[in-house]
Amino acid sequence: MTTTLTYFDARGRAEPIRLVLAYAGVPFEDRGLSHEQWAKAKAETPLGQLPYLVVGDADGERVIPQTMAIVRHLARANGLDGKDELERVAADVAAETALDARTAHSQLRFSPAWADEAAKAKFAAETVPAHLARLDKLIGDRTWFASSAPTYADLVAFDTLDRLVGAWPAILAGSPRLAAFVDRVRALPELASYLASRRPG
């Protein structure tokens, strides 16, 4: 079986996919296209968007677009989607809540307001805490969001929180349970090699 992930040469949307692959121990080719390469390749991709995943086996190749379809496919294929329906729902709820925060951050990050320090400070002071409060409520005093062991939702939540910490290093100071969660994910032995060698954020 071969697994090839294609995205730009950046963490971006593909990072939760890479984290799931790394945590599951699935060897994969991590293709990072330049914008010139993408301009040539775009027309031949499933939806004209990145990322997409190509999984090859004896039956041929499956080409899968859409970040969260890829993440959830890999989670199901590798037992990272929860043990039963209740856990699967909890994982989906946590992942969607993290993605709400990620989307809000990306909208600011890729807008002219990112150059406006006052707008950034307002976002960090008012918008981010509302997202963090939801995530904090979901994890409560548990170790992982949805199960007794990490699910894909923990990796999606880690990616979001890690991005926020990258933008505002003290952003989790008022959320000790989420800060401890981030440290816990960062310390997972399954992720050690990937986290030590991944692209800069």
Interface residue list for ligand GSH (CB under 6 A): 12-13, 42, 49-51, 66-67
Q: Minimum CB separation from ligand GSH for residue 65, in Å?
A: 6
How many other C-beta atoms lie within 10 A of the C-beta of residue 114? Answer: 15
The amino acid present at 107, given as its one-letter code, is Q
Assess contact for 127 and 182: CB atoms under 8 A: no
Toward ligand GSH, which CB reaches closer, 12 or 129?
A: 12
Q: Minimum CB separation from ligand GSH for residue 160, in Å?
A: 14
Q: Minimum CB separation from ligand GSH for residue 96, in Å?
A: 13
Toward ligand GSH, which CB reaches closer, 51 or 150?
A: 51
Toward ligand GSH, which CB reaches closer, 51 or 82?
A: 51
Toward ligand GSH, which CB reaches closer, 18 or 147?
A: 18
Q: Minimum CB separation from ligand GSH for residue 70, in Å?
A: 8
Q: Read off the tokens for 152.
A: 């894909």
Q: Read off the tokens for 62.
A: 């499956």
User: What is the crossing angle of helices 152-167 and 15-24, to 10°?
Assistant: 130
Closest Cα partner for 3 from 53, 71, 52?
53
